[in-house]
Structure 1
Amino acid sequence: MTMIVALNDFIGARGVSGSSMGATQVARALAGGGTDVYRMTVGREPQSRVGRLAGMLRWDFVYAPRTASRIDACCIVHCTNTGMGARHLPSIVIMHDTMVLDHPSLFDRGYNAYARMTFGISVRAARVVVTPSEHSKNRILARWPETRIVVIPWPTQSTRPNANHPGYEERMQKPTVLAVASTDRHKRLDIVVNTVSTVRRMSGIDFGLTLVARPGNAESAVQRAIGRVDPEHEWIEIVRGISSRHLSDLYDNAFCLIVASLDEGFCLPALEAASHGLPVVHTARGALAEVMGGHPAYGRDYAADEARLLESMISICDRSAWESSRERSIERAGVATGPEQFRDRWRLLVKEVGS
């Protein structure tokens, strides 16, 4: 008998993001194998902030569970931190991280209030909480110790053994640093801009910087940082609405990926870059060290992160260091969760919860 799984993808209405890509990954994993996926996403959100928050509440806690019950789903999967089931309808909540609770000053006050109101309710009502990293699991357990949590990392393909990616010499012909993130405060793209500017000055290398950036709550700060160091827009480019093929090309030809995040629940772009054999320079905050290897950064000396990024980038300007960093990236991609493992773990979990 075919099982129906309801997938709450409210976040998909806001365009391409890590969360919406995660919903797509789960939908693909569950499709087939005796499972029909009923994906729910809102057509358009209200324009006002209050309207959006009210809409999220109605969707996650009323509309989505009622719809899932009406179609006789075996369970409902909420893809972005919040939501409930219903009578005879168990829920699985994907909680990417608890950053909004851990670093409230970095987020909108309305979203802060929404998170405080709904995260705990959603976790306690869930049959299972799924999260992509041990780091996020520990943060969730610190708040809700009795929660049943399953860690299922986001999948990526290993680097093909015979992949013909450009080497150091080819990339140095037009060396470009790549950052893939929103312009939200916790992503700290202004630090990325400052770091690459300093590396250009210290190394004498004419690095370009490509920001694949979805607008966020620190857009103006990022624009100011760009205006200070590149007022004529000679070496910094912002790319919006990028296709997966275009992003893949950028990974294949960039000098390195830089991740300046203050915290991360996983950071799929870092692993995607690694699967393309690209060195990854990062802060080691949150789950970054878990995903990419190395020693995690602890404490609240966030000012030291810029110095760490600068030191790491300067070091890989040397060919042998760049190649060593590339090998470490390839190694991390090789031990990451593959699409088949991801599919099998999700199918087993849904079968258990929905039976």
Structure 2
Amino acid sequence: MKRSLKSKDRKKRILVDIYYLHVAQTGIRTYTEALIESVQSAVDPQFEYIISPSYASIKSSTFFKGKTPKWKNLLYQLLYFLRKAVVLPILTHWHRSDLVFSPDILSPLWSRGVKVSVIHDAAFWENPDHYNSYWRRYFLALLDFSLHRNAQAVTITEYSKKQLQKYLGIPRLPVHVVYPATNVVAKPTLTSERPLSSPYFLHVGVMEKRKNLVTLVRAYGHFLKETDKTDIKLVLVGQRGPRKELDDYDNVIQEVDQLGLGDQVVFPGFVSREVLESYYQHAFVYIFPSLNEGFGMPVLEAFSYQLPVIISQQGALMEVGGDAVIYPKDHTMEAFAEVMGRVVEDVPLRKSLIEKGNKRLIRFGGQRFLDDLEECFLRML
């Protein structure tokens, strides 16, 4: 019945490509899931959303998830680029989409309607050594091609927008800033079992080099020596980096062993949503020392669990955290250890950070995210 309606009689159609969720592990996964949940819970969205492929089918599929052999990785890459070059363009015509939205950076090479790429940060340009050089060159060539043809871009902070405008080299490309939502929100009635009997600093994220976890381990060791607070542990939730060039897991383990912190630093690995919520609920302080972020979703997740938050002096994290976070004067282990000690010892400071975090979190709710995004779509169309 819908296909017989004239365009003036129907809502504009937004085709959302979520194929990357088959393998997504970090910020893109959180962003995409938050978008889907916001759309599904919206009372009266201004647009008709077509989620492709089916979210339920991706959640139930395990073929590309977890630790996979090389042939599966190659197969996924082939299918991914085939989708962007052929399948997705055909789908835009099949669904008569007015806009195709790609939360995974790369838009289709051609399409019906406006193409919108969500480019979360400038990591491809700022950290080229983190990627296979041939793959990176091919990916960026496709991105450049797609952005020159009826395209616009969305990013997640003003900091990222400045970086992208610096590196993309497409002066006429509109780049819009829309703050995303957090989809891991504390449940007031949640009563989970404590994962540890001791208080602990918490970090959540894939163990990539840019996360600066070796420095965090060193800072934690220095904190223990300076304060003698050996009852406070460090919990690093997350799995290895997705590629060898990015992975920092072995270096983190080596640092823990060299400092003799094997009994103090806990590695739960990748955990389910329920277990993750338990770690957040019972943490003492959240700490995020990353050197390169486009946004920093765990900061908001920590706010929602009433946690004081320590971050690094990194542009996107400071923009998201505002006055509700505390950060060291530089990126040295001594500076991080000093701030860790201050947050532990200063009860009024912790209380103040938590109160400010509650206020800051309002800016990043799911409905506000969808409202801002739909306003952006209206301008594009």
TM norm structure 1: 0.84
Residue type of the partner of 1:99? A
Whether the aligned pair in 2 keeps the contact of 1:179 and 1:258 (CA below 8 Å) is yes
Match runs of 1:9-28 below 5 Å: 9-28=18-37
- Shift of the 254–15 alpha-carbon distance from structure 1 to 2, 3 Å rule, reads same
Stretches of structure 2 lacking an aligned partner (at least 5 in a row): 1-9, 242-246
Name the CA distance, whole Å, in 2 between partners of 1:224 and 1:158. 31
Name the CA distance, whole Å, in 2 between partners of 1:303 and 1:63. 47
Name the CA distance, whole Å, in 1 between partners of 2:126 and 2:152. 22
SS across alignment from 1:304: coil
CA shift, 1:116, in A, is 3.1
Q: In the alignment, which of 58, 63, 66 is matched to residue 82 of structure 2?
A: 58
Task: Identify which range, 325-334 or 76-85, moves more after superposition.
Answer: 325-334
**Residue of structure 1 in register with 2:3 after alignment:** none
Residue type of the partner of 2:358? I
- Shift of the 286–58 alpha-carbon distance from structure 1 to 2, 3 Å rule, reads farther
CA shift, 1:19, in A, is 0.6
Residue type of the partner of 2:250? S
Q: Deviations over 1:273-304 (max 9, x none)?
A: 012221111112130110112699xxxxx983
Name the CA distance, whole Å, in 2 between partners of 1:197 and 1:121. 48
Q: In the alignment, which of 62, 70, 88 is matched to residue 47 of structure 1?
A: 70
Matched, 1:150 2:176: yes
**Residue of structure 1 in register with 2:200 after alignment:** 176
TM norm structure 2: 0.78
Name the CA distance, whole Å, in 1 between partners of 2:135 and 2:287. 27
Name the CA distance, whole Å, in 2 between partners of 1:73 and 1:247. 37
Name the CA distance, whole Å, in 2 between partners of 1:118 and 1:286. 28
**Residue of structure 2 in register with 1:326 after alignment:** 354
**Residue of structure 2 in register with 1:189 after alignment:** 213
Name the CA distance, whole Å, in 2 between partners of 1:263 and 1:126. 30
Match runs of 1:74-113 below 5 Å: 74-84=98-108, 86-113=110-137
- Shift of the 306–109 alpha-carbon distance from structure 1 to 2, 3 Å rule, reads farther
Name the CA distance, whole Å, in 2 between partners of 1:304 and 1:145. 33
**Residue of structure 1 in register with 2:92 after alignment:** 68
Q: In the alignment, which of 9, 14, 19 is matched to residue 5 of structure 1?
A: 14
**Residue of structure 2 in register with 1:313 after alignment:** 340
Whether the aligned pair in 1 keeps the contact of 2:153 and 2:175 (CA below 8 Å) is yes
Q: Deviations over 1:223-282 (max 9, x none)?
A: 222332356x42222223423333223222211111121111000001110122211111
Kindly, what percent of the aligned residue pairs are identical? 18
The Cα RMSD (Å) is 3.4
Name the CA distance, whole Å, in 2 between partners of 1:126 and 1:22. 24
Q: In the alignment, which of 41, 48, 56 is matched to residue 35 of structure 1?
A: 48
Name the CA distance, whole Å, in 2 between partners of 1:10 and 1:110. 22
Task: Identify which range, 38-47 or 88-97, moves more after superposition.
Answer: 38-47
**Residue of structure 1 in register with 2:4 after alignment:** none
Stretches of structure 1 lacking an aligned partner (at least 5 in a row): 297-301
- Shift of the 306–55 alpha-carbon distance from structure 1 to 2, 3 Å rule, reads farther
